[in-house]
Amino acid sequence: MKTNKAIYQRATKVLTGGVSRNTIFRKPHPVYVAKAKGSYVTDVEGIERIDFANNMASLIHGHAHPAIIEAVTEQMHRGTAFTVGTEAEVLFAEQMIARSASFERMRFVNSGTEAVMTMLKTARANTDKPKIAKAEGAYHGTYDYAEISQTSHPGNWGITSSPNANRVVDGTPKGAIDDVIIFPFNDVTRTLNILDRYADEIACVLIDPVPHRIGLLPASHEFVEAVYKWTRAHNALMVFDEVVTYRVNYSGAQESYNVKPDLTAMGKMIGGGFPIGALAGRKELMEVLDPRGKILRHPHSGTFSANPISTTAGRVAMELFDHEAVSTLNALSMKAVEQIREVVRLADIPVSVTGAGSMFRIHLKPEKPTTYREAYQPKEEKQLVNELLDYMFLEEKIMMINTCACMLATTITQHEIDRLSEGLFNGFKLIKPKLEKLLTVSI
């Protein structure tokens, strides 16, 4: 029988660190999948686990959904990628534009990172300005200008009224760092003061409406409306990263707000389990990508962009994620949060829960954080989070995201929610003495 350890030993001889993405690495070795169905994943050693991570929020209907498999298999027999167009791209764009009021034109790409990158470049092309403004701690993929300050910590983040722009990768050009303006999420007064300092240079203000890395905290209506008003006054765009958050409502998290973004980047779950990204927004803004223009201000292409496999899978997945499915999944997520909060009360442990839609995150803090700096996990706290996650994974056979978050799929039922609650109760009892000691020391 194959073992996870043996496969990893082979992997280290051909893959740097034995992995191609660091998120799957775990000590002493990663786990390798043999098969998956619905919300259950079985590894090569035959161990079955409930999946609450869903490939970092990208599997809205769990694993191997029959309708998606059927549609993709049919398309595969006709071909997978071409140097000509396919109707699959058109059908999917028609569906998404009908779904979201702020979408007038679209472009498909291959990942959320690429979608955000294309969106920022489109904003620059429209405004002829270089700088990007983004929230401290927010994750927007791996594009140089999007990743700045996503890993800021107490040793380098500076004062709240003027957070530092910090590199993530060694060797990031100083020019890229200087062209990113950092503001404190949901802090209207400080954010507007910061934006005002660079008003003539800012192309767009980039907002994740429920930023996972900041703490899975929804952007307040006041904050979004203030940013929108500021961008109208200063020839800038308000752009949303909905790569993770489009699942929050039928038309994305933006459905919750009175004002709408000029451009929206998407990815993850709109691909139905296949690699995808998308940019959508106002017609006149998207025209900078139009090859029919006299001057092409933003040349844009991609070998696998809008491939018929991803667009077919995405279209079917989004058809299945209709109003009823969204409502049912969000209600189940709310039920899960209620049960976890009850478990927290029964375990008498200083833990809080945040989230929106079908996503929630557990914080080893007595009060719900409201900012990135409040949600920040010092080394000792992160070690406890990892201990809890390892216990859940190894003993309770439950998979969660490495921030102690869950992103639900429509294949989750009350049975799995009960398993999660029971597992967390046991896990909380395990870490409670260490957490209480940690909090006592920090006070």
Taken in order 121, 124, 129, 133, is the CA torsion positive or negative? negative
Position 442 scores a pLDDT of 65
Q: Reduce the DSSP state of residue 351 to 3 states and report it.
A: coil
Per-position pLDDT tens, the chain of length 443: 899 999 999 999 999 999 999 989 998 999 999 999 999 999 999 999 999 999 999 999 999 999 999 999 999 999 999 999 999 999 999 999 999 999 999 999 999 999 999 999 999 999 999 999 999 999 999 999 999 999 999 999 999 999 999 999 999 999 999 999 999 999 999 999 999 999 999 999 999 999 999 999 999 999 999 999 999 999 999 999 999 999 999 999 999 999 999 999 999 999 999 999 999 999 999 999 999 988 889 999 999 999 999 999 999 999 999 999 999 999 999 999 999 999 999 999 999 999 999 999 999 999 999 999 999 999 999 999 999 999 999 999 999 999 999 999 999 999 999 999 999 999 999 999 999 988 887 65
Q: Reduce the DSSP state of residue 281 to 3 states and report it.
A: strand
Of 23, 111, 57, the residue nearest 359 (C-alpha): 57
Where are the domains positioned within the chain?
31-60+322-442, 66-320
What is the pairing mode between strands 180-183 and 131-135? parallel
Position 443 scores a pLDDT of 54
Q: Does domain 31-60+322-442 have CATH number 3.40.50.920?
A: no
CA distance 349 to 425: 10
66-320 has the same fold as 31-60+322-442: no
The length of the chain in residues reads: 443
Buried b (16+ CB within 10 A) or exposed e, 308-332: bbbbbbbbbbbeebeeebbeebbeb
CB atoms within 10 A of CB 155: 6
Burial of 135 (0-12, 13-18, 19+ CB in 10 A): buried
Residues forming the active site: 139, 241, 268
User: Using the 8-state DSSP alphabet, how is residue 225 labeled?
Assistant: H
Contact 319, 93 (CB under 8 A): no
Taken in order 327, 329, 332, 337, is the CA torsion positive or negative? negative
Of 153, 151, 215, the residue nearest 352 (C-alpha): 215
Q: Which CATH number fits domain 66-320: 2.40.37.10, 3.40.190.10, 3.90.1150.10, 3.40.640.10?
A: 3.40.640.10
Say what the alpha-carbon torsion angle 415, 418, 419, 420 is, to the nearest 10 degrees.
Answer: 120
216 to 13, 255, 318, 370: CA distances (angstroms) = 37, 17, 23, 9
CA distance 223 to 339: 30
